[in-house]
Structure 1
C-alpha cells in the first residue's frame, strides 16, 4: 500500500495557456484542415440534383420572399436603396454568420467519435467550418456583386471608400461566430438542450440584427440597444459601403469590435478548458 504521506518529486501536466490558440500546431495540421473543408463542401451537396447551384438558389429565393413580405406587404424602409439589393446584402452576410455559428457549435458533440480515436488540435474542426462556409459566402457574394453592378450602372446606388473594409468585416463575423460557437460547443457537452435552443435563438437573433431593416428605422430604446448588437456595426458598415445608405458611424463599428473580441476571448478560454475533459461528458 502506498504511503499516504508520500510526496511526488515530479508532476506532469499540460503547459498550455487557456488563451493559447495553438496556431503553430494547427499550421502543422493544415492538410487535415483541407481534408475537413473538402469533406464539408462535398457532403453538403452529395446526392443532390442541382449540386452547388443551391449556393445561388437559396439567397435568390430568400431575397424574393423578403422582398414580397417585408418590402411589398410590410413596407419596411430601406433608406432609399433598391429593395432587392438591400435584402440580398443582408442575406449574404447573415447566411455566412449563421452557418459558421451553427456549424461551430456542434464541434464536440458532432465529432466525438473522431476526437476519441486520434489526437489533433481541436481548433482544426471549427476553423475548417469557417473556411468551408467562406467558400459558400464567396459564391453568394459573387451573386451580390452581379446584382450590385446592375444597380450601380443604373446610378441607383452610391458606394464609398468603406468598401475597402469588407475583408475586415468578414473576419469580424468569423471571429464572432467562432467565439460564440466555441462557447456553445463547450456548454453542449454537458447541457445538450442548448443545441436545440441555439437553432431557435439564431432565428430570433436575425430579427434583432439589421438584416431586413436599417437601424435608422428604429427609435428610442430599441435604437440604443441595437448599438450593442455586435453584428449591427458590421451590417450597417457593409450596406453603407456598398449601397451608400444607412445610419452608420465609426463608433458603431468600434463597439462591435470590442464586444466581438470579448466573446472570442471567452470562447477560447472555455473551449480550451473543456477540450481536455469533454470525452468524459459527451
Structure 2
C-alpha cells in the first residue's frame, strides 16, 4: 500500500501518541498536513492536544528523537500494514465514528475491509454450548452470501464466531484491543496465525501497546463500526457485548439476538435486546433476507 508523506508523519505521531482522530482535530486544523509536528514547542502541543505540559514535553522529546525513523519500513519488515486515517485505503465506515482510529494496523488481507457485507457476531467470554449450536445455524448462510464475520478474538463467543467462519469456508476479521506484539488471549495464538494467513487481524494500537482493561471497550466501537449489523448470541445483562451493541445502535445498525432460555443468566442480554426491538433470529437466512433482500 502506498503511503503519502502526510501518512508517514501521522505514523510517527501515532507511535508516540496513540489516540483516536478526535483527539487530534485541533492539531489538524492548525497543521492539516502535519508538516510542523517536529517543530512545535511543548506548550503548543499542550494547547492543541489538551494534555498536561509534562506529557507534551515527553511527546515533543519522543518525536524529535525519532524524526528519521522509517516506521513504514519497520512495519513492513514485521508484515504489518499501517492504514492511516489520511490514506485513501482507510475504510469509510469507520469515518462515521465520533472517534475514528487515527491508524489501523493490519496483518493479513486488508482488502477484506472493503468487501460489501460485514456482520459482527459477539457474545460472552463464558459462552456455553448453546452459542456454538447457534453459530452452526447462523454462520453457514452468511458465508454462502459472502458475508465477512467480524469479532474480537476473545475467548468464548468471539472465538466460536471466527472458527465457524473458517470452518465453513468464509472470511473473518478479528479486531484486537492491543498491539500485535502482545497477543491476548495467548491460547488463541494458532487461531490468530490462521487469521493472519488467510483472513485479517486489525488493531488501532501500535505494536508495543499491551492489553489493558480500557483498551477492550475502545475496540468494541471498531467491531460495530466496521459491521453492517451485529448478532448477539449469549451475554450477561451488563457486559462488553452490550457496550458493542450500544455503539451499533448509535450508528443505526441492525441488531439481531439469539433468544435463549429464561433460566440462563447469559440469555438475559439477548432476551432484553429482543424486548427492546432487536430482531430475534434462529438461523442465518433471516439475517441475509434483512440485509441482502435481493440475494
TM over 0.5: no
With normalisation by structure 1, the TM-score equals: 0.29
Largest Rg, 1 or 2: 1
Q: Whose relative contact order is higher, 1 or 2, with alpha carbons under 8 Å and at least 6 apart?
A: 1
Bigger fraction of residues in strand: 2
More helix by percentage? 1
With the length of structure 2 as denominator, give the TM-score of the two structures.
Answer: 0.28
